[in-house]
Amino acid sequence: MTEKKRIPLHFNNSKIYQLTSYLMNTKIFLILFTVIVFTGCKKNMVQISGTLVNPVIGEYIFLDELKSNELVTVDSIKVSDKGTFNFRKEIKLPAFYLLKINNNNFLTMLLAPGEKLNLSAYHDSLNYPVSVIGSEGTESMAEYNKTLRKTITKLSGLNKIYTQYIDSANLPAVMESLDSMAQKYLTEINSYTKNYIDKNIKSLVSLVALYQQVAPSVYVLNPAKDLNYFVKVDSSLSILYPGYEPVTSLHSQVMELSDSKKGQPIAEPAAGKGAVAPEITLPTPEGDTVKLSSTRGSVVLLDFWASWCGPCRRENPNLVKAYNLYHMKGFQIYQVSLDKTKDDWVKGIQDDQLGKWLHVSDIQYWNSVVIPIYKIESIPMNFLLDKEGRIIASNLRGEQLQTKLAELFNN
């Protein structure tokens, strides 16, 4: 059950203490105390209320908090005979919670301080509520679930057709057709999910989208094939929610997956290896326009990054090391930022001491003009260009970059 906590008050300033002592003898103190305490609580308080259609009399509904590897029940309440329930909880930051009847019947919620979520759902299908309002994150996830459910329904329909033809001589032809249709449905929900993540890249709902399933152990996104989206979400959320357990858990997974794929390019630009890198013409922080082609005559690392990207920032010291070692031998860095504001971009350059090389950006985040040209789906991402601007290699990081540059310049 919910535990009420006392809120301690500390008066360190002597004048405040004297004023408080005076007010304690008046009705004014009671009024001020009530306003201060309840205003402070209200900002961090979330309310989850709703109505279950066809409720089971005496049934309990639970509120679980999602940790990195476990669910912790933080409250429970008996549903009224009319199907109504109400929870109140104090939270400081956006976090995931489950509204649960049992382990197979639950609604995942993303709650933010101050939100008042209200929902209506059939008591046996919380995950597909009839309506949900008052919580932006929860509303977004509920909308996604509608599309996911349609896909699951279509796939289930294919299974029924297969059952009808299981003893038919036409089964091989039917199976080929069904496989083709299933692949079509899976491709559609995969694309929808990626688009959903792109639109919600700064929200924790993008984290949930990474792990959706159309059947047990059949995931919409494959960590091996769609690693770029796991990296993209990790890059964004690690900056916004660095201490949140589900985010740190994702980061650990991404690091393990990335280590297993070292040396393999995550994506290739419109012009592949051996071709001239597509032109980029963007402004510097000072407002001057610098073309990528202006670097011809140098070996160039074309690097895509952003100040909000944790893995990018961790790679920057390696770029500084490479630049200091090989710049005098003809090495240059042309770094393109996907930042949203000039202030964040410039601060990132200053904080990481990257001011020696070329920086450009149109400050358009994932809407940057370079995205479709270089097929960028995640950052950090880089391409090593020879003196004629041809692509030599891609996504060289850490010691791989140092080894490649040593090979080029020491020979």
| Tens-place pLDDT, residues 348-362 | 999 999 999 999 998
Answer yes or no: do 213 and 326 share one domain.
no
pLDDT score of 377: 79
Exposed/middle/buried for residue 327 (C-beta within 10 Å: 0-12, 13-18, 19+): middle
Whether residue 378 lies inside any domain: the answer is: yes
* Rounded (5°) CA angle 330-334-338: 165
Cα Dmax for the chain: 94
For a pLDDT cut of 90, what percent of the chain falls above it? Answer: 51
Whether residue 275 lies inside any domain: the answer is: no
pLDDT score of 39: 41
pLDDT score of 376: 85
Whether residue 2 lies inside any domain: the answer is: no
Answer yes or no: do 104 and 174 share one domain.
no
> What does the pLDDT look like over 94-134, one tens digit per residue?
999 999 999 889 999 999 999 999 999 999 999 889 999 99
> What does the pLDDT look like over 289-320, one tens digit per residue?
899 999 999 999 999 999 988 888 989 999 99
Query: From CA 391, how far away is CA 300, in angstroms rounded?
Result: 9
pLDDT score of 305: 94
Answer yes or no: do 111 and 160 share one domain.
no
Distance from CA of residue 46 to its chain's centroid?
23
Answer yes or no: do 291 and 400 share one domain.
yes
Asked whether the predicted pLDDT for residue 67 surpasses 90, the reply is: no
Q: Classify each residue of 67-83 as buried b or exposed e, where b means 16 or more C-beta atoms within 10 Å of its C-beta.
A: eeeebeeebebebeeeb
For a pLDDT cut of 70, what percent of the chain falls above it? Answer: 85
Answer yes or no: do 254 and 153 share one domain.
yes
pLDDT score of 19: 35
Answer yes or no: do 245 and 151 share one domain.
yes
Range of the domain at 91: 14-134
- The CATH code of the domain that includes 318 is 3.40.30.10
Whether residue 7 lies inside any domain: the answer is: no
Asked whether the predicted pLDDT for residue 3 surpasses 50, the reply is: no
Q: What is the dihedral angle through the alpha carbons of 306, 357, 324, 261, rounded to the nearest 10 degrees?
A: 30
Instruction: Provide the mean pLDDT of the chain.
Output: 84
Asked whether the predicted pLDDT for residue 220 surpasses 90, the reply is: yes
Whether residue 267 lies inside any domain: the answer is: no
Whether residue 93 lies inside any domain: the answer is: yes
Answer yes or no: do 293 and 402 share one domain.
yes
Residue 192 half-sphere exposure, CB side, CA atoms within 13 Å?
Answer: 17
Q: Which of 99, 134, 169 is the last residue of a domain?
A: 134
Identify the CA nearest to 230 among candidates 267, 194, 268, 192.
194
- Global pTM reads 0.58
Exposed/middle/buried for residue 187 (C-beta within 10 Å: 0-12, 13-18, 19+): exposed
Asked whether the predicted pLDDT for residue 89 surpasses 80, the reply is: yes
Answer yes or no: do 185 and 212 share one domain.
yes
Q: How many domains does the chain have?
A: 3
pLDDT confidence bin for 18, thresholds 50/70/90 = very low
The arithmetic mean of pLDDT across residues 154-164, rounded, is 89
Contact between 266 and 257 under an 8 Å Cβ cutoff? The reply is no
Secondary structure of the chain in HEC code, one letter for each residue: CCCCCCCCCCCCCHHHHHHHHHHCCCHHHHHHHHHHHHHHHHHHEEEEEEEEECCCCCCEEEEEEECCCCEEEEEEEECCCCCEEEEEEECCCCEEEEEEEECCEEEEEEECCCCEEEEEEECCCCCCCCEEECCHHHHHHHHHHHHHHHHHHHHHHHHHHHHHCCCCCCHHHHHHHHHHHHHHHHHHHHHHHHHHHHHCCCCCHHHHHCCCEEECCEECCCCCCCHHHHHHHHHHHHHHCCCCHHHHHHHHHHHHHHHHCCCCCCCCCCCCCCCECCCCEEECCCCCEEEHHHHCCCEEEEEEECCCCHHHHHHHHHHHHHHHHHHHHCEEEEEEECCCCHHHHHHHHHHCCCCCCEEECCCCHHHCCHHHHHCCCCCCEEEEECCCCEEEEECCCCHHHHHHHHHHHHC
**Among 23-27, 262-266, 281-285, 381-385, the least confident range:** 23-27
163/48: higher pLDDT = 48
Answer yes or no: do 101 and 33 share one domain.
yes
Q: Classify each residue of 245-255 as buried b or exposed e, where b means 16 or more C-beta atoms within 10 Å of its C-beta.
A: bbbbebbeebe
Residues paired with residue 358 on neighbouring β-strands, in sequence order = 334
Contact between 384 and 306 under an 8 Å Cβ cutoff? The reply is no
pLDDT confidence bin for 369, thresholds 50/70/90 = confident
Asked whether the predicted pLDDT for residue 203 surpasses 50, the reply is: yes
Asked whether the predicted pLDDT for residue 69 surpasses 80, the reply is: no
Answer yes or no: do 291 and 403 share one domain.
yes
42/118: higher pLDDT = 118
pLDDT confidence bin for 162, thresholds 50/70/90 = confident
Q: Which of 196, 227, 260 is the last residue of a domain?
A: 260
> What does the pLDDT look like over 381-390, one tens digit per residue?
999 999 999 9
Answer yes or no: do 71 and 155 share one domain.
no
Asked whether the predicted pLDDT for residue 25 surpasses 60, the reply is: no
The arithmetic mean of pLDDT across residues 142-156, rounded, is 93
The arithmetic mean of pLDDT across residues 72-97, rounded, is 94
41/307: higher pLDDT = 307
Whether residue 329 lies inside any domain: the answer is: yes
Answer yes or no: do 256 and 366 share one domain.
no
Q: Which of 229, 260, 291 is the last residue of a domain?
A: 260
Query: From CA 360, how far away is CA 342, in angstroms rounded?
Result: 11
